[in-house]
Amino acid sequence: MIRIISMTALLLSTAAAVAQTPFPVVDTAQNICYDNSEAITCPAEGAAFYGQDAQYRGTPANYTDNGDGTVTDNVTGLMWAKTPDLNGDGEILANDKLSYDAALAGAENFDLAGYNDWRLPTIKEMYSLMDFRGVDPSGYEGEDVSGLVPFIDRSYFDFAYGDTDAGERIIDSQMASSNLYVSGTNATNDATLFGVNFADGRIKGYGLKLRGRDKTFFVMYVRGDAGYGVNDFADHGDGTVIDASTGLMWSKTDSGIAMSWQDALAFAQTANTDAYLGHDDWRLPNIKELQGIVDYTRSPDTTDSPAIDPVFDSTEITNEADQLDYGAVWSSTTHSNWTKRPGNAGAYVNFGRAMGYMNGWTDVHGAGAQRSDPKTGDPADYPEGHGPQGDAIRIDNFVRLVRDAG
């Protein structure tokens, strides 16, 4: 039987969910299953690759275009500026971008739709808009971007790739957040700002200087309750941690060993077969659930800990620079790309340093970055990492399981 729900009922049910959990995690919207390379028919329980993102449905995004340049997120309760076209010329170009300081100051005088309480969003607020139906165009050498798919819902929000006429790359669509990296500096010794990139589907720390000048970012201001993204953890003393703000239960410890993405999915299935910690409905978290437990006030360099609440236990590693560090953690979300192997990478979160090779190994993107790794391969094939900042390629990452606490 098909159940038809009126828009009024849908908004009421969404409002009820928000009232129950002050930090509802908006679903990634990923709806395609993948193996280590390609899209596949979603596998049955017990089969290889079962339990990935597309097989679980969280709280779906629910937006209202208010017709006044604002969009209300009915899940998070936040109201957004619809467009990063700050100069109002109808185009989203490099000259719409602002430095971090200018973005902070600009919020003071931003009065869109008659509201005067706009602010620069936190990284968790910004990431709530991420839509993993997007396709990463990194490496795309064409000029026509009409066929590319960004990581934000364009039926509600305006979006543009980088302004190539101004010398930018297609992927230069970084959005500023209000979160500076607590570790202070990056590989070029600049203060570092966490930004969400809706072009390539990542969170990275970006130096506030670029070739001696202020780096600029697209900006989408937000207003509403400033409590979104604040966790409320409780250690239940049985190996589990409940986050009352999201309604999710987490394993207190991670897997203790690093593994491939396919093995990470299998790890969750085995946990259910064994009724791990008394439950048989564990899953590998999707990337937005996983990013939701990052603590951006912590880092290996400032608190001698991973970027996660100390209620959790995290496995120590020795990183590429021979430093004591903490491993990256897999999500169940595929980081789709435009190549002939669109499913060959999985999304992960760095709870330790996000290492890259830039005149040697260093923390290029910060603890709390969200990047991706190949699902298979040999890390030895990447002695100087991969990509413009030489992102460390480990392929084997850790697992922290999650389930619905309710």
pLDDT digits (tens, 9 = 90+) for 17-52: 444 689 999 999 999 999 999 999 999 999 999 999
Look at residue 17 in the predicted model and tell me its pLDDT.
41
Mean residue pLDDT of the chain comes to 93
Is the CB of residue 68 less than 8 Å from the CB of residue 113?
yes
Q: How far apart are CA 313 and CA 332, in angstroms?
A: 21
| DSSP-derived 3-state class of residue 41 | coil
Look at residue 4 in the predicted model and tell me its pLDDT.
34
Give residue 40's identity as a one-letter amino acid code. Answer: I
CA within 13 Å, CB half, 389? 19
> Backbone phi, then psi, for 240, in 5-degree steps?
-120, 155
Query: Is the pLDDT score of 248 beyond 80?
Result: yes
Summarize the confidence of residues 187-200 as an average pLDDT: 88
Query: Is the pLDDT score of 134 beyond 80?
Result: yes
Query: Is the pLDDT score of 166 beyond 70?
Result: yes
Query: Is the pLDDT score of 165 beyond 90?
Result: yes
Q: How far apart are CA 282 and CA 246, in angstroms?
A: 16
Query: Is the pLDDT score of 401 beyond 90?
Result: yes
Q: How far apart are CA 70 and CA 156, in angstroms?
A: 9
Structure tokens at 40: 């596949």
Look at residue 212 in the predicted model and tell me its pLDDT.
79
Helices (H) and strands (E) in the chain, counts: 6, 22
Summarize the confidence of residues 382-391 as an average pLDDT: 94
Q: How far apart are CA 115 and CA 110, in angstroms?
A: 8
| pLDDT level of residue 185 (50, 70, 90 thresholds) | low
Query: Is the pLDDT score of 291 beyond 50?
Result: yes
Structure tokens at 304: 């001698």
Higher confidence at residue 381 or residue 7? 381
Q: Are strands 328-334 and 324-326 parallel, antiparallel or unpaired?
A: unpaired
